[in-house]
Structure 1
Amino acid sequence: MPLPKSLRRPVRRASSSSATGQSQRKRCRICNNLDPRGHASSVHLDEAGKEPKTSLSLVIDVLTLSKTKDVGNRGCRFCNALTQALDAFFGGWRGSAVRVNVDIKEKSTIKASIDGEHWKGEFIEMYAGSTSRAPWPTLGAAHHIPVNSGSDDTFNFIRRCIQGCLANPKHKACRLPCKSSISAPKRLLDVGRATSPIRLIDTQGKTFQYAALSHCWGSAPQLTTTKQNWAKMAVNISFHALPPLFQDAVIITRQLGLRYIWIDSLCIIQNSLRDWETESSKMGSIYQNSYITISATNSGDGSSRCLAERQKPVKIPYQNTTKKELALRARKLFDHHPEGSPDGGPAKPIGPLSHRAWALQEVVLSTRVLHYTATELLFECKTSYRCECSPERKTWPTTPSLIPKAVASKDTNAVWDAWQRIVEKYSTRNLTVPEDKLPAISGIASKIRKATHSDYIAGLWKGNLASDMLWSTVAFEMPHVDRFALDTWRAPSFSWASLDAAVTYNQLDEEERETFVPTITLLAASVVPKGLNALGTVSDVSITIRGPITQATVCSEQSQGQWAYMLMIKGTSTISMVPDCTLVEMEYEDGDGDSNKTVRRAQKGDLLRDFRVPVLCLSVARYDNLLAGLVLGMSKLRPKTWERVGTFAAGTEAMQNAKEEEMTLV
């Protein structure tokens, strides 16, 4: 019998706000239960052709996370899983005063990284085991990555990537020119089969299908070809006499069904300057015409293999609310994916080779590249990109596509932009031999010259001279060993190649580009190559130009270990100057024998102190009511010539008293 209405208790229904509040109380305030939903910062993504998904990016203080209690002490099971994953791969993270960045996306893996130089480029991926249900509903599974880079699975992945490139009609840029137009390297390493001798062959101008190796020489003993051992190397090279890295390169070549490979230290006679200059100048065509380039990204020298064991994933203990153990995995990867959208830029393989200057053009000019990194294999060609953690073909830009896409656009400005982006990347890399600065990018310069028909001036182009002259150094701080001029002249002061410093160019937007007008005129250019490579080492370079010049005074001051330089031009306010490196005052004698003061780039050992000396300001270009130009000091190299010491940007009033003059820069 039902109770009378007078005795019934009213039923309270939770309002939507109170229900939300109850849900929020169940969520960890630190990690949000590693769930992208229900957080104030949750973002809902509408993916084309797929169900909407939610993503969440969290920034967690390391000290807060490291003090998280374990589950047995009523701690958050999700924070506990995250800390165990960090413990497995990031030793010492608990004592660091940095932040943990956690990116969570519905039905995807969770990526966690730590701020700080020690862990730069590394992240941990947490994911569900593929053979059981996910530990929690929003967590996704990950693609399998073999634990050995020489496994059958990895080689099958390589073959699928290559065949996908060769068979896809959209990969027009990846098609090599007809065989009759391909210039083969002078020598190749014939690796034959496992039972056949390995030997050097002279190609005698014939065409061959071959692989090419891109690698770090390092400081380990290196097997090289010389005038003395060439005849012996042409008969037989013992497999066991090859450095471990070269052995791996031979194995990869054979596994891909190829018979020949080009390795610089073996295919160029190392104690013959003529042979080195001749063959190194062909670097562009050697890598472009190779069937595949093997990039030993994670190998620091020839003793470090690229076919090696990788760090295995770990199993993270995790129990749900019913105490059931579920499969939760974590592994370490490198952050190689382009950022954001398809316009985010090329893949970023990380390893010792990614810091070497010579290796950049070897990738830029190649048709297809295999990057052997510490955690997985990356494949890129002139059209697409794939990796073992994300094997689906991507349409992101690739490094080998930079020049072909610019050339295909039939827009010369796109080619100039591609060159400047490459120089920016190149300037951050290291060289064992400083004199190789121009030779190590000459292969790329050859492609740019072919596309633009422009004259090359030691790293700059006649057809884009004003823009090319306006490079500037990045992150200038003092004192720093890399912020000094070279002891030995290598390139003219107006070229970025004259310094060992990272440089950048002004990236103009569309409106600024339309208003960009050079204010200089090139009257003459003299480039004297030092060797056989016309785009390589130079012994003397100068340009004579006409442009607006005004007198100024440059002042230096030091504050908290940093040097700053300011320009004072009569009739205007003080202008900030971007110096090429640390500067010092210098005395020189003019043509009448009088002593004058100027400024020059400082070298190691110079006494650094405050100064106030006269300089010249040369307006190079005008855009959007701004002027950009060079700061010049008198040169000691040649009478009545000038050297660049920095750049400036100012309003047009700064040059209102400027006069058109002719001058020579060295």
Structure 2
Amino acid sequence: MPPKKSLRRAVIQPRRNICKTCNNLSPRDHASSVYLTERTKGALARLSLVLDAFELSRSRLPKEGGCRFCNVLCQALDALFGDWRGTRQRVNVDIKEKGTIKVGLDQEAWRGEVVSIYTTKRKSSRSWSTLGTARRIPLNSGSDDTFDFARRSIQDCLTNPKHGACILPRNSSASTPKRLLDVGRATAPIRLIDTQGRALEYAALSHCWGTGSPLKTTKANWRVLSHDIPFNSLPPLFQDAIVITRQMGLRYIWIDSLCIIQDSARDWETESFKMGSIYENAYFTISATASPDGASRALKDREKPVKLNFENLGGDELEIRARRVEDHHPSNKEDPATLVGPLTTRAWALQEHFLSTRILHYTKTELLFECRTSFRCECSPSRKSLPTTPALIPKATAKLNRDPKAVWDAWHRVVEQYSRRNLTHLNDKLPAISGIAGQIQKATSSRYIAGLWEANLAWDLLWSTTTTAADAQYFSPDKYRAPSFSWASLDTPVAFAPLDQEERLSVVSSITLVSSSVSVTGLNPLGTLSDASIHVRGPIMHATLLSTQRGGIWEYVLFLKGSSAITIQKDCLLVEDVIGGSSSGRAQTVRRAQCGDAPQDFKASVLCLCVARHDTWISGLVLGLARQDPDYWNRLGTFAAGSDVFQRAQEKELHVT
């Protein structure tokens, strides 16, 4: 029987003239080499190196006795990452036998981008036998080859029996967009139409608006746009989206700024609430991933590969090339493709990505296709049955009966990604994720409470902020948009503690929801709020919170009776406050700091609510009296402590807002 595949450290065989810096860009015979089989003969080897950019830039040229392979790295970095020399940063080199060599820099300016080094010949020279070839990528994203790739990807998804998850539900008037752009043929006028509830096949555009204002429909111009929209009056990105729609054989496209009347609050609330189903029911979504605004095209020239000078020991020149690629391939089979570009920083675009059934991602370097079943790209066009972003919610909801926690884990992953993205209008914090919330609610029938779920309340309450020490001096927003117990009340990345299967069985909720109140502004029941609160019963203890400053960073230490000092995970900067009007009714407390507040040393009373309990530890919320109403409490942060600390806790009811 053939040996089972496994990763194994190399048995190092001595070779002559091996560069100690780059190992001659070979994955073999290095202390860190790994092989994919038990045999060294014919084994697939891999090697990851971390080099110092400053030292690499000082390497001598081959004619001066320097390493020919280090010189290849320098040429590639000079051509594609021009400012790398003279810096003390890491150069990450990943080498795979018979594959391309990936070179990246640890610098924010090139985040997610790598240089790919490859040969154009199927059989490499003996002096570089481990270097592989790379598939040709068209030099324009509007080329015939790229459009053929898009058509094949979509057609395979539609006809492959394994793509049952990608079969769209029959359109209904409730999910059909109210308006679409009829782009017809190139000779026919483009116009805005009322669908009148008809089930039409259409594409949808996911894009950044940018700082400018794209062409948009208003109460004043919608009649004109319903008659004729000159092609040249459209922003370049919209023009490209129409070309793509026509090339894919469709007649209609949905573009938010044109298909929603932007100065009608009623129309915006009605149609934005349907946005989840609009993207889900689209024939495909055009994702302008690399476009920062409507003036930036999706169909454009791509950067050409560069030729690198390399001669073997016999003086023969090899055909070596390098090109910039966005490192979208997942590092393991558990993760979906990674995308880079301005669109991936926008909050509204996240649900467009999650909820679309099929997506064409127009990135800077190539076209990627994703559906609910598979992923493929121009550099690797074979269908891959890997996890995809559009599959996350459907897969989680499909497992609801046998693994109820899966859907809540999926929601937490969505919120974590969403909280790292940017919003132009901060009041859109809940509306911009309401499409995904609608899918979760449809599957679980759980009550939605300002970004949290009644059926998973304890775990949803235990989010924490994840800002670094350098970003730790942040404030609470001045304007209300969510209650303090909701992650949506802050503009900062958040995280939920992941629970493995064993922890899920041993961790139990310590709170009971007595009642909840949610007041919605507008027509979207999962959207903008004017007020929300929860009335819970659980173990509480009074404690003292002390502020302390270390290295310019404010920290907050909790003192519970019978316990040593506990540093809490703060939600934001905190300040001391006094609640009440008369001297007899005044109460000292702590609240979240707002812009203009000057943080100072304080020592004040707070309340600790135990939310979840394990055999040996508890997790809970730190609460301060609400300024608006002293009968209510506001969240300040989270804490964790040994379970013995709460043995003297009292069961009480309290309101948190």
Question: Residue in 1 aligned with 2:569?
Answer: 578
Cα 1:535–1:47 shift into 2, 3 Å: farther
Question: Residue in 1 aligned with 2:442?
Answer: 450
Counterpart CA distance in 2 for 1:464 and 1:126 is 48
Match of 1:239 among 231, 239, 261: 231
Question: Residue in 2 aligned with 1:230?
Answer: 222
Match of 2:366 among 362, 376, 379: 376
The CA deviation string for residues 438-475 of structure 1, in whole angstroms up to 9 with x for no partner, is 00000000000001000000100000000000000003
- Per the TM alignment, residue 63 of structure 1 is displaced from its structure 2 partner at its CA by 1.4
- Per the TM alignment, residue 624 of structure 1 is displaced from its structure 2 partner at its CA by 4.1
SS of the residue 2:128 aligns to: coil
Q: In the alignment, is the contact (CA less than 8 A) between 2:615 and 2:643 conserved in 1?
A: no
Cα 1:642–1:476 shift into 2, 3 Å: farther
Match of 2:59 among 68, 88, 98: 68
- Per the TM alignment, residue 396 of structure 1 is displaced from its structure 2 partner at its CA by 1.6
Matched to 1:79, the amino acid is C
Question: Residue in 1 aligned with 2:600?
Answer: 609
Question: Residue in 2 aligned with 1:472?
Answer: 464
Gaps of 5+ in 2: 1-11
Counterpart CA distance in 2 for 1:513 and 1:479 is 32
Match of 1:116 among 102, 107, 121: 107
Match of 1:148 among 140, 151, 159: 140
Counterpart CA distance in 1 for 2:38 and 2:488 is 45
Match of 1:414 among 406, 422, 441: 406
The CA deviation string for residues 462-511 of structure 1, in whole angstroms up to 9 with x for no partner, is 00000000000003536656x21001011000000000010000101111
Q: How does 1:24-173 map to 2 (within 5 A)?
A: 25-46=16-37, 52-130=43-121, 133-134=124-125, 136-173=128-165
Give the structure with higher Rg (CA): 1
Q: Choose 452-461 or 128-137, whichever is displaced more.
A: 128-137
- Per the TM alignment, residue 180 of structure 1 is displaced from its structure 2 partner at its CA by 5.1
Counterpart CA distance in 2 for 1:393 and 1:41 is 31
The CA deviation string for residues 530-583 of structure 1, in whole angstroms up to 9 with x for no partner, is 010000001110110000000111111111121111111111111120000111
Question: Residue in 2 aligned with 1:402?
Answer: 392
Q: Tell me, yes or no, if structure 1 residue 540 matches structure 2 residue 500.
A: no
Question: Residue in 2 aligned with 1:360?
Answer: 350
Counterpart CA distance in 2 for 1:496 and 1:266 is 32
Matched to 2:397, the amino acid is V
Q: Tell me, yes or no, if structure 1 residue 432 matches structure 2 residue 424.
A: yes
What TM-score do the two structures reach when normalised by structure 1? 0.94
Question: Residue in 2 aligned with 1:263?
Answer: 255
SS of the residue 2:267 aligns to: helix
Question: Residue in 1 aligned with 2:304?
Answer: 312
Matched to 2:539, the amino acid is P
Counterpart CA distance in 1 for 2:553 and 2:90 is 28
Q: Choose 177-186 or 216-225, whichever is displaced more.
A: 177-186
Question: Residue in 1 aligned with 2:329?
Answer: 337
Counterpart CA distance in 2 for 1:439 and 1:46 is 51
Question: Residue in 2 aligned with 1:248?
Answer: 240
The CA deviation string for residues 404-455 of structure 1, in whole angstroms up to 9 with x for no partner, is 1101123221011101100000000000000000000000000000010000
Counterpart CA distance in 2 for 1:618 and 1:334 is 46
Gaps of 5+ in 1: 1-18
Matched to 1:659, the amino acid is Q
Match of 1:520 among 489, 511, 520: 511
Q: In the alignment, is the contact (CA less than 8 A) between 1:47 and 1:53 conserved in 2?
A: no
Matched to 1:378, the amino acid is L
Counterpart CA distance in 1 for 2:452 and 2:582 is 31
Counterpart CA distance in 2 for 1:155 and 1:354 is 23
Counterpart CA distance in 1 for 2:472 and 2:459 is 28
Counterpart CA distance in 1 for 2:152 and 2:329 is 20
SS of the residue 2:405 aligns to: helix
Q: Tell me, yes or no, if structure 1 residue 460 matches structure 2 residue 452.
A: yes
Counterpart CA distance in 2 for 1:46 and 1:404 is 36
Question: Residue in 1 aligned with 2:5?
Answer: none
- Per the TM alignment, residue 62 of structure 1 is displaced from its structure 2 partner at its CA by 1.0
Match of 1:215 among 187, 196, 207: 207
Cα 1:399–1:47 shift into 2, 3 Å: farther
Question: Residue in 2 aligned with 1:273?
Answer: 265
Q: In the alignment, is the contact (CA less than 8 A) between 1:69 and 1:76 conserved in 2?
A: yes
The ranges of structure 1 where at least 4 consecutive aligned residues each deviate by more than 6 angstroms after the TM superposition are none
Q: Please, what is the CA RMSD of the aligned residues?
A: 1.7
Counterpart CA distance in 2 for 1:542 and 1:56 is 54
Q: In the alignment, is the contact (CA less than 8 A) between 2:142 and 2:300 conserved in 1?
A: yes
- Per the TM alignment, residue 221 of structure 1 is displaced from its structure 2 partner at its CA by 3.5
Q: In the alignment, is the contact (CA less than 8 A) between 2:472 and 2:572 conserved in 1?
A: no
SS of the residue 2:523 aligns to: coil
Count of residues in Structure 1 that have an aligned counterpart in Structure 2? 642
Q: In the alignment, is the contact (CA less than 8 A) between 1:478 and 1:561 conserved in 2?
A: no
SS of the residue 2:212 aligns to: coil
SS of the residue 1:336 aligns to: coil
Q: In the alignment, is the contact (CA less than 8 A) between 1:129 and 1:141 conserved in 2?
A: yes
- Per the TM alignment, residue 116 of structure 1 is displaced from its structure 2 partner at its CA by 2.2
SS of the residue 1:647 aligns to: strand
Counterpart CA distance in 2 for 1:32 and 1:444 is 48
Match of 1:660 among 644, 651, 656: 651
SS of the residue 1:656 aligns to: helix
SS of the residue 2:409 aligns to: helix
Counterpart CA distance in 2 for 1:190 and 1:430 is 31
Q: In the alignment, is the contact (CA less than 8 A) between 2:290 and 2:343 conserved in 1?
A: yes
Counterpart CA distance in 1 for 2:520 and 2:296 is 36
Match of 1:393 among 383, 398, 402: 383
Counterpart CA distance in 2 for 1:262 and 1:308 is 22
The CA deviation string for residues 193-252 of structure 1, in whole angstroms up to 9 with x for no partner, is 000000000000001000000000011241000011111100000000000000000000
Q: Tell me, yes or no, if structure 1 residue 294 matches structure 2 residue 286.
A: yes
Matched to 1:427, the amino acid is S
Counterpart CA distance in 1 for 2:139 and 2:79 is 16
Match of 1:558 among 541, 549, 554: 549
- Per the TM alignment, residue 104 of structure 1 is displaced from its structure 2 partner at its CA by 0.6
SS of the residue 2:157 aligns to: helix
Matched to 2:74, the amino acid is T
Counterpart CA distance in 1 for 2:269 and 2:422 is 20
Counterpart CA distance in 2 for 1:656 and 1:297 is 53
Q: Choose 454-463 or 177-186, whichever is displaced more.
A: 177-186
